[in-house]
Amino acid sequence: MIVDQWELGKEDRGLAESLHIGLQEVMDPELGMNIVQLGLVRNVKIKEDDALVTMILTTPFCPYAPQLMEACRSKTEEILAIPTKIEMGREFWDRSMMEDDAVDWGLY
């Protein structure tokens, strides 16, 4: 599970599980899949008074980037009840990053 890759302390584990479930509501409108399933949430750091989410996009020119980033930020703030910032990761997305690679897009 991708939560295991997030930089979290032991005390953050319950919050991370809630966040993992909640962020599944944030959908990529072009692909019809959520940002967790796609593996776009690469890291979450929870501090005492704020959080930082690192995410990537499926393509550098994603037309929905601002909406996806804002939806991720607001959903994270709603769940954690602390201010949240979104940081763009530098890695390029590929299908292997998906949480559940059982989806066959018929592309390969």
Domain assignment present for residue 97? The answer is: no
pLDDT in tens, 2-49: 555 676 655 666 788 899 999 999 999 999 999 999 999 999 988 888
In sequence order, which residues have a C-beta less than 8 Å from that of residue 46 and are 6 or more positions away?
8, 9, 12, 15, 16, 80, 82
How many domains, in total, are found in the chain?
1
pLDDT at 102 over 50: no
Domain assignment present for residue 45? The answer is: yes
* Res 15: pLDDT: 82
pLDDT at 65 over 90: yes
Domain assignment present for residue 69? The answer is: yes
Domain assignment present for residue 95? The answer is: no
* Res 106: pLDDT: 55
The CATH number assigned to the domain holding 54 equals 3.30.300.130
What is the pTM assigned to this prediction?
0.84
**Domain around 13:** 2-90
